[in-house]
A = this chain, B = another copy of it.
Amino acid sequence: MNNPGALLGKDSSLFVDLYELTMAQSYLENGMSANATFSLFVRSSKVTRSYLVFAGLAEIIDYILAYSFHQETIEYLKSTNLFNNKFLAYLENFRFTGTIRSMREGAIFFYDEPIMEVEAPIIEAQILETLILNLIHHQTLIATKAARCISAANKKSLSDFSLRRSHGIDAGMKSARSSFLVGFDTTSNVLAGKTYGIPLSGTMAHSYVSSFQNEIDAFRTYAQDNPTNTVLLIDTYHVATGAKIATIVGKEMESRGQKLKAVRIDSGDLASLSSIVRYILDDADLQYVQIIASGGLDEYQISDLVDKECPIDVFGIGTRLGISEDMPSLDMVYKLVNYNNRDIKKSSEGKEYLSGKKQVFRVLDENGNMSQDIIGSHNELAPRNSTPLLEERVDEGNIVAALPDLETIRGYFIHEFSTLDAKYKLLEKASKYPVSVSNELKLLQNTRP
């Protein structure tokens, strides 16, 4: 598998809402084997982000290509008494034979734009709904939150500290991957380091300091035992005192030819404390010692600290990143837009969406910067100076080209993000990036009910 972070084994195929399977049985029973196209997008009904970052593609492609029903799985389904033998026999031979078109992982996108379209016999495309939504929704959510932190930090370094309060094991892993994808430098999550090749960070907790009788004993001991990676946590008792003790230990390290790497402040008024600590460090000629700040941070607080020009070198972002606190879900949906060459458009009140197979065209200005997107029909000609964003990833059930590795995805996002004007990146009251619907796609909405 491309993506060794995958956590499910032979029962992957049961990671599905029951109705996907009961509908599938009915499609089979009625010989409904025509191709369907489902479109994955984020509804604009709940807009509190000005842009979004597509993440999770590598993982979902792995799952889809491996999607199959093992015997034990079939036995369980049989035991529910909801499925007939014909359908169970069909599942035994299930494999995905369709086409997947999507944006590149790491792409910047906007509301109502399809980020992925799955075209396959309706049973196949339907059954994948839950898995696709679960994996892409979560990773897109976190990558987007993390990108906002990157903007706010204005080139300061960021580290993912979210593992302990992410929503379970998979979420902890994906927070590390999704935040690294958009430019975080390190993670505290050791398994993510091993799994995704992300550099690690972190050194001591309050418990370490408390387990010693005195703070200086704790600092000295730690510096001796971890000379190449000494970050001293200085807020267990009193930050300024902690900083002074850290300078003593830093000087002792210098005398041994070592360097104190950083001090960390995890509580209190980070703006004033970081200034005091910087003063204490500089006063001791320890200009090279960095200051790491952590403790309930998110993009809003980072932005505030950066605006105040606080001497913080690294921000450690935990809980609020891992849960995307101010917006813990996106209204991401996977909608049937075409069945058997018939465009599907009607839907429940307030939940309308664009029918038909689509393409998203990104128009660049003369400097190569993002200027507008046009949601078009699948086969229409690309407008001038535009690039179609949906590309074929899987064709007749086979991968078209190897997916890029995480470093490459990261590079792609960082470049793309640099071409998005700052006015779209404001945390609040950002400008609305122009997204329009092509005339051809509009026509299709009106003429085929």
29 A–B contacts from the bound complex (CB under 8 Å): A14-B194, A15-B189, A16-B191, A18-B190, A18-B201, A19-B202, A19-B205, A23-B205, A26-B226, A29-B225, A30-B225, A77-B190, A82-B228, A126-B208, A129-B207, A130-B164, A133-B164, A134-B163, A134-B164, A134-B165, A166-B167, A167-B168, A207-B336, A210-B336, A236-B346, A237-B346, A268-B349, A319-B329, A325-B328
A359 contacts partner chain B, Cβ-Cβ < 8 Å: no
Question: Do A206 and B19 form a contact, CB below 8 Å, given A82-B228, A168-B135?
Answer: no
**B349 contacts A200, C-beta separation under 8 Å:** no
Q: Point out the residue from B8, B137, B236, B325 that lies within 8 Å of A164, measured CB to CB.
A: B137
**B348 contacts A17, C-beta separation under 8 Å:** no
Q: What residue in chain B is nearest A38 (Cβ atoms)?
A: B207
Residue numbers in B under 8 Å from A73 (CB-CB): 194
User: Chain A, 326-354, contact with B by CB distance < 8 Å: what is the 0/1 string?
Assistant: 00111010011001000010111111000
Question: Do A222 and B26 form a contact, CB below 8 Å, given A166-B134, A349-B268?
Answer: yes
Question: Could you tell me the distance between the alpha carbons of A335 and B205 in the complex, rounded to whole angstroms?
Answer: 10
Question: Could you tell me the distance between the alpha carbons of A346 and B214 in the complex, rounded to whole angstroms?
Answer: 11
Residue numbers in B under 8 Å from A207 (CB-CB): 23, 36, 38, 126, 129, 335-336
Most chain B beta carbons < 10 A, residue from A36, A161, A205, A332: A205
Additional pairs, 11, CB under 8 Å, beyond known A29-B225, A126-B205, A319-B329? A7-B7, A18-B202, A21-B190, A23-B208, A27-B211, A134-B164, A134-B169, A165-B332, A168-B168, A206-B335, A207-B335
Question: Could you tell me the distance between the alpha carbons of A312 and B221 in the complex, rounded to whole angstroms?
Answer: 64
Q: What residue in chain B is nearest A11 (Cβ atoms)?
A: B191
**A236 contacts B348, C-beta separation under 8 Å:** yes
A255 contacts partner chain B, Cβ-Cβ < 8 Å: no
A266 contacts partner chain B, Cβ-Cβ < 8 Å: yes
Q: What residue in chain B is nearest A8 (Cβ atoms)?
A: B169
**A19 contacts B203, C-beta separation under 8 Å:** yes
Question: Do A18 and B188 form a contact, CB below 8 Å, given A325-B329, A335-B207, A350-B268?
Answer: yes
Most chain B beta carbons < 10 A, residue from A19, A36, A202, A229: A19
Q: What residue in chain B is nearest A73 (Cβ atoms)?
A: B194
**B347 contacts A32, C-beta separation under 8 Å:** no
